[in-house]
Amino acid sequence: MDMEQITKIALAWDMFNSGIPKTQIAKSLNVHRETIGIWIFEIQANGYNVNKFIDKYLLAKKAPRPSRRTCRHIKQLIWSIREREKDCCGQKIQYFLSLEHNIKISVPKIYEILAEKYIIKPKWKKNSNRLILPVPVKPREFIQMDSVDFGQIYAFTAVDVFTREVDVLLRPGLTALDGLAFLNASMNRRFNNHVDLIQTDGGPEFKGEFKQNLHLFSSHHRISRPYRKNEQSFIESFNRTLRKECLGWTKYNIKEIDKASNEVELFLDRYHYHRPHIGLGMRPPLVRVVS
């Protein structure tokens, strides 16, 4: 194995001197480009003497490698710092090891040592299980909810993915209680008090009291994945429409909430009964019943 590497080092140096780019050398010798760069640099650092570098290379290969095992003393220090600092994180343990004992150790290694004695719980799971994103075939099967910032006023929005019916409620805050107020209002006046699935993002307005009462109106709750805007595409599209055709990009004062609410009511009437929707074959979501 060493003889094969030595041959590649010599060839790499010859090819480099012939003006061949490092990328092409790496491809020809089936070696990573960074490795070629290191070889060239080290040969140049050794007075452009390839044989001198090869001698050092062979000597380094024969030298005994230091043990990768962490001694018991360092483990005890890591455990004691964690207990002393009230279950602090690995980064802080790394800081105290360096500050108090002049010991340098990586954060992943610290967590590996902590796992020998403690149960380390991750703060979040990147691939946590979620309900499969449904394709609705009937009304009230899939509702997406969101919120939009308008300065001192926040618009809570919802859309029925199948019918494209929407609801909007302006609130003075972005808390879970405001989210609950919207849930109660939209379910009672727009979505017939119950739907199969409500999907929200992970914002604080959709936690706490909102989540505790969600079961009264929906069989399931799904939280959209972070940075996957396509999972909330219908409500995101409506939010843009709300800005473009109703409230604009203005920052409202809290005293303007009644006036803005009246504008929203007029917009919703137009949206449901007059404005054609491309996804519905150029017809509005609802047909006005004439008595």
Give the tens place of pLDDT for each residue, 224-238: 988 777 899 999 999
Supply the DSSP string of the chain, one letter for each residue.
Answer: -HHHHHHHHHHHHHHHHTT--HHHHHHHHT--HHHHHHHHHHHHHTTT-HHHHHHHHHHHHHSPPPP-SPPHHHHHHHHHHHHHTTS--HHHHHHHHHHHH-----HHHHHHHHTTTS-PPPS--TT----------STTSEEEEEEEEEBTEEEEEEEETTT--EEEEEES--SHHHHHHHHHHHHHHTSTT-EEEEEE-S-GGGSTHHHHHGGGTEEEEEEPPTT-GGGGHHHHHHHHHHIIIIITT--B-GGGHHHHHHHHHHHHHHHHHTS-BGGGTSB-S--PPP-
| pLDDT mean across residues, the chain | 89
**Is pLDDT larger for residue 290 or for residue 96?**
96
As a whole number, mean pLDDT of residues 11-40 equals 90
In this prediction the pTM is 0.58
Question: Would you place residue 70 in the very low, low, confident or very high pLDDT band (cuts 50, 70, 90)?
Answer: low
As a whole number, mean pLDDT of residues 198-211 equals 94
